[in-house]
Structures are given as C-alpha cells and as structure tokens.
Amino acid sequence: MAYRDDGEEDFELVKENPDDEDPLPLEAFVDEIDNRTGYLQQIINDTPVYQLARVATEQEIQQRARLATSNNCLATYKVFLGQVATLEQSALEAPEDDQISPYDEDRRTLEAKQRGPP
C-alpha cells in the first residue's frame, strides 16, 4: 500500500493489491492516538543544555518586549516586536510542555503491568 501526493490535493491511496482492505479513516481512532511527551523528550528537556537554551530564549523574548515598549524604537517596529514577543511568549507557555498525562493502564502490556507503574 502506498500513498501518492500530486502536490495539489489530499493524498490518494494507491493499493498494490486491490483486494486489500481500505484503512480506517483517521476520525475512527483519532481519540486513541497517544500524543503525550515521550520518555526521551523528558530526558532532553531536563538536560542543562536545554535549560540554558530555554533561559536564553526567554531572555531574548523579554528584551524584544522591552524594546517594543521603549521610546527608542519607531512605531512600526514597536508593533512588530510586540506581536512577535507575544507570540513567542505564548509558545513558551504552552501547557503541553509541562503537562504529563497519566497513561491508560488498559493499554499497557501484561509484562509492563507486572513491572509496576510507568
């Protein structure tokens, strides 16, 4: 089974074997998709390099926000810098960054359940 993309429209399913079943539509299982932050991402987020980069980014955003409210900047730049700083700040404050959802125990394998909590 392969998907073909002509660049203009949605993907079109091209089955190698016409007798193969059609895949389920995304709507049928979209609520089942596990979109939690993974273990490796949690490790990366806890590294000193990531933390330093995040702090530096937050400081740059604060500098742009201060510049947008200062009198040393043209009005056009103030509007632009203010909008950029607001968007950047809201991206940093996205709730999914720090939220860890509990895992659905019914989806864990028997072996994983025997090892204990995730």
Higher-scoring residue by pLDDT: 49, 116: 49
Is the entire prediction scored with pTM above 0.75? no
Question: Tens digits of per-residue pLDDT, 79-91?
Answer: 888 888 888 888 8
66 vs 78: CA distance, rounded Å: 10
Q: Using 50, 70 and 90 to split pLDDT, how confident is the model at 102?
A: low
Question: Tens digits of per-residue pLDDT, 20-51?
Answer: 888 877 777 777 776 666 777 777 778 899 88
